[in-house]
Amino acid sequence: MSVSDFRSDTVTRACPAMREAIAGAEVGDDVLEGDPTVRRLEEAAAAWLGKEGALFVPSGTMANQVALGAWTRPGDEIVCQRFAHVTTFEAGAAGFLHGVQSMTVGGDDGQMDPDEVRACLRPRFIHCPPSRLLCLEQTHNWAGGVVTPLERVEALSEVAREAGLSVHLDGARLANAVVASGVSAREWCAHADSVSLCFSKGLGAPVGSVVAGDAAFLERARLVRKRLGGWMRQAGHLAAAALYALEHNVERLAEDHALARSLAGRLGALEGLEASAEAVDTNIVMVGVSAPGRDAAGVAAALGEHGVLVMPMGPRRLRFVTHLDVGPGDLDRLVEAAESVMQG
C-alpha cells in the first residue's frame, strides 16, 4: 500500500533532477585538498544567510552542537526556550559533549519574553555558571512551526548582546520562516552570531546542514566539527543535493504552508479533533485529540491502517507536517481516513 506520510518534512526522497545533481557532482577529499561542490554550497549558504562563511555538516543536531562547542566552555550555561530542540531533542548533547547546562524560558507557545531572559541571566558571581549563549529557534518545531516575529527576535538578541552573550539561531527551518514572513534570511540572521540551516527538512535534500558565522567563529567551529567526526570526504555528492535544494526548493515552501493551513481547517472541522488554520504559520500543524476515550497514539495507529502516517507528540497531540512528497491528494486521503477513524 502506498502511504501518505505526514510525520515529518524529513521523509522526502530526492527528485530525479536532484539525483542527477548528486550523480554529476564534481568532488574531492574535503579533508585533504577540499571538495569543490562542498565549497560552492558553503559559499552559497553563507551568502543566503548573510554570514562570512559556513561549514557543511551531516545533520541539524551536529550544526547546533558545533555552534555550542564553538561558543562555550565546560561549566557555562546556555539560555533557550523551554522546548527548544537544542535542549529537548538532542539527547542531552550540550551536557554530554560540551559540559554546559541549559536555563530554559517560556512555555508551550515556543516564545521567550525578553524581560524574562534578562532576569534569568546570571550575575558575575563565583557560585554561578557563566551565562554564555542565547539560543533562538526559527521556526519553532515543538510549538508547531511558529514564526517568532522579527521585533521579538531583535529584542531578545539585544538583551543577550547587552549582557555580553553570543546568539545562536537554530534555523533548521529558517527557510520556512523566510517564505512565511517575507523577511529575508539575512535580516533574520543579522540578529544572531551563528546560525544553523537544514537542507534535509522542507528543502527536500536527503541529508545535510550548515552552520554559519564569522571567521573567528568558523575557526573554532571547524575544530569542533573535526572532533565530532563531522568533516566528511567526497561530501560533494551530498552538497550537490543541498545546493539543488537551496536553488530550487525555497519559494515552493509557500505551497506546503497553504496545504498545512488547509489541513488544519479541514481536520479542525471534525468532531473530536482540535485545530485551526489561523494558528498555522508554516508547514507544521499540531492537532489536539479531544474525543473522550481517544488518545494521540490510538488515533495515529488507526490512521496508519488507512495508509496515513502521522506523529503523536504527547498524549493528546498529533503533529502533521507538509512537504514536497505530500500534495492535495494526500490531504483528501487524510481527511477521509480521519472522518472514518473519528466516527469509529
Binding residues (CB under 6 A) for ligand PLP: these are 59-61, 64, 85, 137, 141, 170, 172, 198, 200, 209
Q: Shortest approach of ligand PLP to residue 150 CB, angstroms? A: 18
Nearest to 180 by CA among 123, 129, 255: 255
Q: In angstroms, rounded to a whole number, what is the distance separating the alpha carbons of residues 299 and 215?
A: 49
Q: In angstroms, rounded to a whole number, what is the distance separating the alpha carbons of residues 38 and 226?
A: 16
Q: Shortest approach of ligand PLP to residue 277 CB, angstroms? A: 22
The three three-digit cell numbers of residue 207, written as one number: 541529508
Q: Which is nearer to ligand PLP, 53 or 60 (CB)?
A: 60
Q: Shortest approach of ligand PLP to residue 60 CB, angstroms? A: 2
User: By Cβ distance, which residue is nearest to ligand PLP?
Assistant: 60
Nearest to 104 by CA among 61, 134, 62: 134
Q: Which is nearer to ligand PLP, 4 or 59 (CB)?
A: 59
Q: Which is nearer to ligand PLP, 136 or 267 (CB)?
A: 136
What number of other Cβ atoms are within 10 A of residue 302's Cβ?
A: 17
Q: In angstroms, rounded to a whole number, what is the distance separating the alpha carbons of residues 153 and 343?
A: 43
Q: Shortest approach of ligand PLP to residue 8 CB, angstroms? A: 7
Q: Which is nearer to ligand PLP, 13 or 305 (CB)?
A: 13
Q: Which is nearer to ligand PLP, 173 or 261 (CB)?
A: 173
Written as one letter, the residue type at 262 is S
Q: Shortest approach of ligand PLP to residue 209 CB, angstroms? A: 6
The three three-digit cell numbers of residue 222, written as one number: 571547524
Q: In angstroms, rounded to a whole number, what is the distance separating the alpha carbons of residues 9 and 154?
A: 28
